[in-house]
């Protein structure tokens, strides 16, 4: 059997599910409750739901989603600012496809495009530099969302714009870092979790070492894992087994791509171009040093310094994405879930994003 077939083989999945259930039942016998595990990464959330594993484990392991979907954690104000920027004359606004339908206070970027604003979807930030090169008479702004996985790509875009000596290119940074948000969640006492499934792609950049604080300072275990069903189950099993045995370590179960120290080239790109900044998270407010902005030397590429954008007062909705990303509630606890809020008419980002918890529950776990 080749490796990929192994990762998705139904017989292996079935026996892995049983292993997790048995380990979780031992935990329940010890503690009179099921273990609570937070999957930090949005793609893990989606993969757990899509593969049916979340449903299969629902009585034995409480898998809760965390703040790891870059779209879901983007603050409403950032989207409003983008819509404001898109409204400026001679501006081309570029972003990832997932951001287009996320509602701001009143409108989304799709609405702005329908109204005639030049808003374009790109697959990579570097593509937005090419757009700037081809449109020297226009200001091209890239909406820079994402975690450690995406931030090096933003640095590469700025490096390319710098080498091309472009004067009409800038990035609106609203990026996020994993460690500060996990610390904030744990310090707040809001996340009642026994352990973490740690994000595969982020870890490729930041490395296994970057999670040592979890065990050293919070006494909690974590497992870095991949995205295929057998990898998800292997990571969950290792985590539940550690909980059952009272062990608190960070285990790297994704060694084929994640190293001890991460990707040094990506890290050096990040430290060359960016410096820490306080960043606003949806439903969580500003978290100190939880984002990155361009260093002074690259201020010319910083859209926040170049453009004065006024953001309208935020409109309050009944959307509970803020609580979803903190693992406080499940999507079904939101009164709008499946009624006023669906993937066709999303009210919040957790229903829009391909990594969003509400979208995952709506598509794969909804009870008719």
Asked if 341 touches ligand SF4 (CB under 6 A), the answer is yes
Rounded CA-CA distance 354/72 in Å is 10
CB 320 within 8 Å of CB 329: yes
Rounded CA-CA distance 142/130 in Å is 12
| Token code pair at residue 286 | 């500003």
Asked if 348 touches ligand SF4 (CB under 6 A), the answer is yes
Q: Which residue is nearest to ligand SF4 (CB)?
A: 348
As measured in angstroms, the least distance from the Cβ of 331 to ligand SF4 is 5
In this complex, which beta carbon is closest to ligand SF4, that of residue 70 or of residue 195?
Answer: 70
Rounded CA-CA distance 287/85 in Å is 24
Which residues, in sequence order, are bridge partners of residue 292?
276
In this complex, which beta carbon is closest to ligand SF4, that of residue 216 or of residue 257?
Answer: 257
Asked if 177 touches ligand SF4 (CB under 6 A), the answer is no
Task: Give whole-number Cα distances, 171 to 1, 90, 131, 165, 317, in Å.
Answer: 46, 16, 13, 15, 29
As measured in angstroms, the least distance from the Cβ of 333 to ligand SF4 is 8
Rounded CA-CA distance 236/226 in Å is 11
191-210 footprint of ligand SF4 as x/- string (CB under 6 A): --------xxxx--------
Phi, psi (degrees; rounded to nearest 5) at 145: -100, 170
Three-class secondary structure of residue 265 per DSSP: helix
In this complex, which beta carbon is closest to ligand SF4, that of residue 68 or of residue 125?
Answer: 68
Query: Quick one: which of 220, 350, 353, 360 contacts ligand SF4 (CB under 6 A)?
Result: 350
As measured in angstroms, the least distance from the Cβ of 169 to ligand SF4 is 24
With CB under 6 A as the contact rule, which of the stretches 13-21, 160-168, 233-241, 319-327 interacts with ligand SF4? Answer: 319-327
Query: Quick one: which of 71, 319, 325, 360 contacts ligand SF4 (CB under 6 A)?
Result: 319
In this complex, which beta carbon is closest to ligand SF4, that of residue 241 or of residue 326?
Answer: 326
Establish how many alpha carbons lie within 13 A of residue 33's alpha carbon, considering only the half-sphere containing its beta carbon: 8
Asked if 68 touches ligand SF4 (CB under 6 A), the answer is yes
DSSP 7-36: HH-HHHHHHHHHHHHHHHHHHHHHHSS--E
Residues of this chain that interact with ligand SF4 (CB under 6 A) are 41-43, 68-69, 147, 149, 199-202, 319-321, 324, 331, 334, 336-337, 341, 346-348, 350-351, 355, 358
């Amino acid at each position: 059997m080749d490796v990929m077939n192994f990762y998705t083989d139904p017989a292996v999945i079935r026996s892995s599910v049983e292993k997790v259930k048995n380990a979780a039942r031992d935990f329940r016998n010890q503690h009179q409750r099921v273990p609570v595990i937070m999957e930090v990464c949005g793609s893990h959330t989606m993969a757990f739901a899509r593969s049916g594993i979340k449903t299969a484990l629902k009585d034995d392991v409480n898998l809760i989603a965390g703040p790891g979907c870059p779209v879901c954690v983007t603050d409403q104000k950032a989207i409003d600012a983008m819509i404001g920027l898109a409204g400026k004359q001679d501006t081309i606004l570029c972003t990832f496809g997932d951001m287009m339908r996320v509602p701001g206070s009143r409108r989304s970027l799709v609405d702005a495009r329908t109204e005639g604003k030049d808003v374009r979807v790109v697959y990579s930030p570097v593509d937005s530099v090419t757009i700037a090169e081809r449109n020297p008479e226009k200001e091209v702004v890239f909406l820079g969302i994402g975690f450690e996985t995406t931030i090096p790509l933003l640095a590469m875009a700025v490096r390319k714009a710098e080498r091309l000596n472009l004067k009409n290119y800038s990035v609106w940074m609203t990026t996020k870092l994993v460690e500060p948000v996990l610390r904030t969640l744990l310090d707040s006492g809001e996340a009642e979790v026994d352990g973490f499934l740690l994000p595969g792609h982020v870890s490729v950049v930041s490395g296994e070492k970057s999670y040592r604080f979890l065990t050293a300072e919070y006494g909690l275990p974590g497992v870095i894992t991949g995205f295929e069903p057998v990898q998800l189950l292997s990571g969950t099993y290792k985590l539940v087994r550690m909980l059952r045995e009272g062990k608190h370590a960070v285990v790297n179960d994704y060694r084929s791509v994640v190293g001890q120290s991460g990707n040094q080239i990506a890290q050096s790109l990040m430290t060359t171009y960016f410096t820490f900044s306080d960043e606003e998270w949806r439903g969580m407010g500003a978290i100190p040093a939880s984002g990155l902005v361009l260093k002074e030397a690259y201020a010319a590429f910083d859209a926040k310094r170049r453009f004065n954008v006024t953001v309208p007062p935020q409109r309050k909705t009944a959307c509970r994405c803020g609580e979803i990303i903190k693992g406080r509630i499940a999507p079904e606890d939101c009164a709008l879930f499946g009624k006023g809020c669906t993937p066709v008419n999303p009210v919040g980002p957790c229903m829009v994003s391909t990594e969003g918890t509400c979208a995952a529950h709506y598509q794969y776990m909804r009870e008719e």
